[in-house]
Chain A
Amino acid sequence: MQFFFEVLIGGLLSGVMYSLVALGFVLIYKASGVFNFAQGSLVFFAALTFVGLMEHGLTFGAALAVTLLVMILLGLLIEKFVLRPLVNQPQISLFMATIGLSFLIEGLAQLLWGANVRGLDIGIQDEPIGWIADATGVNVSKFDLSAAGIAAVLVTLLALLFSRTRIGRALRAVADDHQAALAVGIPLQQIWGIVWAVAGFVALVAGLLWGARNGVQFALTFVALKALPVLILGGFDSVPGAIVGGLIIGATEKLAEVYFGPYVGGGIEGWFPYVLALAFLLVRPEGLFGEKIIRRI
């Protein structure tokens, strides 16, 4: 039983890491209906920039601040030069544009900072927390728990932004109906700019945590693929959905690996989430928390 909990908690905490990446997707999708394939590249870019700046002798705080600025700027530039000219084009064109963008950003990141794998130390060790292990016998990673805490704060902030503020209301209005939003005087470009800047910020947080855990390397971009089942499960347009989806995916993939893996020779962690997502897609296409498709009969 103790082992079960250890696996479960480990899974839930790693799920939070997926949620962090999924969150970036949700933001953009919610406000502009674009599935931003480049989110993974943004995560990679953020982590690489941060590490690169640290190597150039900047302090942790300074590197963080500069990277944040760079990410916000990058978000604004993407909105202005890629998405704005494509307004009112079919969804698939926008999607293709973000695919192109993702390769561009990856290339740019490696051009600027080089392609070698780097370590990233953000000062939190990946070790069991002593007092929890003593009290219950369950090992909980300090790093994972901190990452979960950071994610929780981020999600709370975003949820408040969306539901309580004037800008948040405008964001949701834009997500619902571009034309009507324009008609009531909401400046779409300003709203999209804000969303991309926030997505850049989320990518930075995800990039730091993932980079610290797996090392800053090209494989970081594949983290985005892990976010896909999370999105399908939680709903593409729901911030809480990204979190719950991440938790479910994280927990089930670890449990499946440990308990079913041995029967089929292991290695199911890699694809089990996709099976889960596929099954979910058949039953509930809008995801757990996705906005219900409103149909009046």
Chain B
Amino acid sequence: MVQVASMAAQAEPAAQIALSVNNIEVIYDHVILVLRGVSLQVPKGRIVALLGANGAGKTTTLKAISNLLSAERGDVTKGTIEFEGKRVDKLTPNELVRRGVCQVMEGRHCFAHLTVEENLLTGAFTRKASRAEIRAALEKVYHYFPRLRQRRGSLAGYTSGGEQQMTAVGRALMARPSMILLDEPSMGLAPQIVEEIFEIVGNLNKQESVSFLLAEQNTNVALRFADYGYILENGRVVMDGAAGQLAQNEDVKEFYLGLSTAGRKSFREVKHYRRRKRWLA
């Protein structure tokens, strides 16, 4: 805990913490322990990447924050989650969206039988906004995702994977969030589209000052766009650091970026990654 905070502080002394996850433990179905004490922080206006292999607990972490776990018989059994200084771990997803935290789920999850524009409009459900305000919000989304303007009348189910991802992000934007939890935006998309989507995420971050917590398997792209990164393994944070430092770290290079100084190795020679022990209160 202390260590993480100090490192974040080093990276940017003035940054205010928007989201803080403190040592949470998540159990599914009362027996399956998925997260064993994850702590992380997202400073205001930053992009933080949550990296790790399949099953490391990235999605679970995001769902624990957005309170979507209970719908999957999961439960946060220990630890706290704070957003802008207030506990949010007992809120319903609806209240959380009202407070400005919105999740874009893995695999897009667009409403297939609604048009792209209707999809976007559902994102504004929690807002008590006038017609004009909603109109303006739509225009803003179309400004960032010009492609959606062209497809506004098509059923979302018939649009391409990239367009669905854009719709999903746009839909979250309609709620005017201050933080978006973005789960695996690169999933199943062509590298060029992934690049395009990350560019837009970067723009949103800078121009709309939306903070992002971003779960990604594509470590390479994620570290290029993120400010800070956490690496999860087996439901624990095993490493964290500024994105630039992580990208230079030898272990990260070898295990997550597929680069190594000694050339290609056989799997037998791969040393087991020695986890940094964290003893958290």
Number of residues from B at the complex interface, CB < 8 A = 35
B172→A169 contact, CB < 8 A? no
- CB of B51 closer than 8 Å to a CB of A: no
Give residues of chain B (99-132) contacting chain A, Cβ–Cβ below 8 Å.
Answer: 102-105, 109-114, 118-119, 121-123, 125-126
Q: Mark A261-295, 1 if CB is under 8 A from B, else 0.
A: 00000000000000000000000000000010010
B97→A178 contact, CB < 8 A? no
Closest chain-B Cβ to A139's Cβ sits at a distance in Å of 42
Closest chain-B Cβ to A188's Cβ sits at a distance in Å of 9
Given A172-B111, A181-B122, A187 contacting B94 (CB threshold 8 A): yes
Q: Which 10 A-B pairs have the closest CB atoms?
A: A185-B97, A294-B157, A180-B109, A176-B111, A185-B126, A187-B94, A173-B122, A173-B111, A183-B103, A182-B93
Q: Mark A52-88, 1 if CB is under 8 A from B, else 0.
A: 0000000000000000000000000000000000011
Q: Mark B222-248, 1 if CB is under 8 A from A, else 0.
A: 000000000000000000000000000
Q: Mark A141-179, 1 if CB is under 8 A from B, else 0.
A: 000000000000000000000000010011011011111
Q: Mark A182-201, 1 if CB is under 8 A from B, else 0.
A: 11111100000000000000
A184→B118 contact, CB < 8 A? no
- CB of B71 closer than 8 Å to a CB of A: yes
Closest chain-B Cβ to A43's Cβ sits at a distance in Å of 28
- CB of B17 closer than 8 Å to a CB of A: no
**Chain A interface bracket (under 10, 10 to 19, 20 to 34, 35 or more):** 20 to 34
Collect the chain B residues with CB atoms within 8 Å of residue A175's CB. Answer: 113
- CB of B155 closer than 8 Å to a CB of A: yes
A183→B104 contact, CB < 8 A? yes
> Once bound together, how far apart are the Cα atoms of A124 and B215, in whole Å?
64
Collect the chain B residues with CB atoms within 8 Å of residue A170's CB. Answer: 122, 125
Collect the chain B residues with CB atoms within 8 Å of residue A296's CB. Answer: 157-158
> Once bound together, how far apart are the Cα atoms of A179 and B63, in whole Å?
11
Closest A residue, CB atoms, query B93:
A182
A172→B175 contact, CB < 8 A? no
Closest A residue, CB atoms, query B121:
A169
> Once bound together, how far apart are the Cα atoms of A185 and B174, in whole Å?
11
Given A179-B105, A186-B122, A294 contacting B113 (CB threshold 8 A): yes
Collect the chain B residues with CB atoms within 8 Å of residue A291's CB. Answer: 113
- CB of B92 closer than 8 Å to a CB of A: yes
> Once bound together, how far apart are the Cα atoms of A183 and B62, in whole Å?
11
Collect the chain B residues with CB atoms within 8 Å of residue A176's CB. Answer: 111-114
B118→A169 contact, CB < 8 A? yes
Give residues of chain B (35-78) contacting chain A, Cβ–Cβ below 8 Å.
Answer: 66, 68, 71-73
Q: Mark B159-186, 1 if CB is under 8 A from A, else 0.
A: 0000000001001100100000000000
A178→B105 contact, CB < 8 A? no
> Once bound together, how far apart are the Cα atoms of A60 and B1, in whole Å?
69
Closest B residue, CB atoms, query A186:
B125
B110→A187 contact, CB < 8 A? no
- CB of B98 closer than 8 Å to a CB of A: yes
- CB of B96 closer than 8 Å to a CB of A: yes
Collect the chain A residues with CB atoms within 8 Å of residue B68's CB. Answer: 179, 182-183
Closest chain-B Cβ to A36's Cβ sits at a distance in Å of 20
